[in-house]
Every structure is written in structure tokens, then in C-alpha cells.
Amino acid sequence: MLQPFELFNERYLERLITLKKFYLVSQSYKRGFNHFADAHKIDILVTDYESAGEAQMHLNAVKNDKYGALIDLQKPEHKKKVLDMLLGEKYQLYWSIVKSADDLQKRLQASYKDKMRRYIESNTDWRIGGDETITPSIETTYGELFINLKWRTKRLRIKFEDIERY
């Protein structure tokens, strides 16, 4: 399972405050699960926002998530809770940013090319020749990975987990 996001740490917290991105939305993150670890932490994904309204929309999208919360870094108790989570042994926090978009693009092309082709053959009317290429890009919406596929003038946006199943 692809895990493209950066581990969240204390210095990122300070950077977000400097950039006036005070709002974080937290949610469960199953892609962070390390199958080889001796002890398992609770994996949490955080997404930053400048606007409380945008953060609230994200929170509404994950309202049934046990770990869904709106964190306001301007509130000392919220900032302390995030720091406690970062420094403690119970949680592993991920930040919904990709360290290298180029690296991720290469990984998509190398590891998921055949799965994308099988998905397209099974779920679309696209008839792609062997010499033609599909152009994938990845995006995150409310903590969910989506892949955008382009071929000629056609475009398709699907959940990345649907591609992984193929």
C-alpha cells in the first residue's frame, strides 16, 4: 500500500503557525500502518488550512471518524495536545503533503502502470493502444488519495484504493 505523506514533527507545527495556517484537521490514517513494526501506534493524518471554514468542511467529510477533530493552533490547549501526540508513544502523525511530487510520479508510473491499465480496461470505454501512454497524477481531498488519469481528451478521477485493488 502506497504511503506518500510526510511524517509530521514539531518543527512543522512551528512552521504552520508562522505561515498562519492555524487549523488542522485530524483523521484516521490506514496507509500509515507499518506491518513490520513490533509495536503499533495509532496512525493519524493531519491536513492544514488557513481558513476555519475550509477546515470545518473537511471535518464534516470525516465526521464519523473516531479520530476526526478540528485543531486550532491558536489555542494553547490544542497546540499542547498536538505536541503531546508528537512526543508520546501512542500516536504516529502524518502530514498530508508529499515530500517529492516527482518521486511520487515516478513511483506511480513504475509500480501502478499495469493496475491503471487494468482498471481502465474494466471500467471505461477507453481503448488505449500499446504505444499510447496514460498520464496519472495524484491529489488529496479531505485526506483521501485520488488519482487523475488523462488519455487524449478524456479524464478520469478515482480513489487511489480502487487502482490498488487491480
pTM for the predicted model, two decimal places: 0.83
Mean pLDDT of the chain: 90
Strands 144-151, 154-159: pairing is antiparallel
pLDDT tens digits, one per residue of 67-113: 999 999 999 999 999 999 999 999 999 999 987 888 888 888 888 88
pLDDT tens digits, one per residue of 103-145: 888 888 888 888 998 999 999 999 988 888 787 888 889 988 8
| Cα 71 to Cα 92: distance, rounded to the nearest angstrom | 16
Q: Are 26 and 84 in contact (CB under 8 A)?
A: no
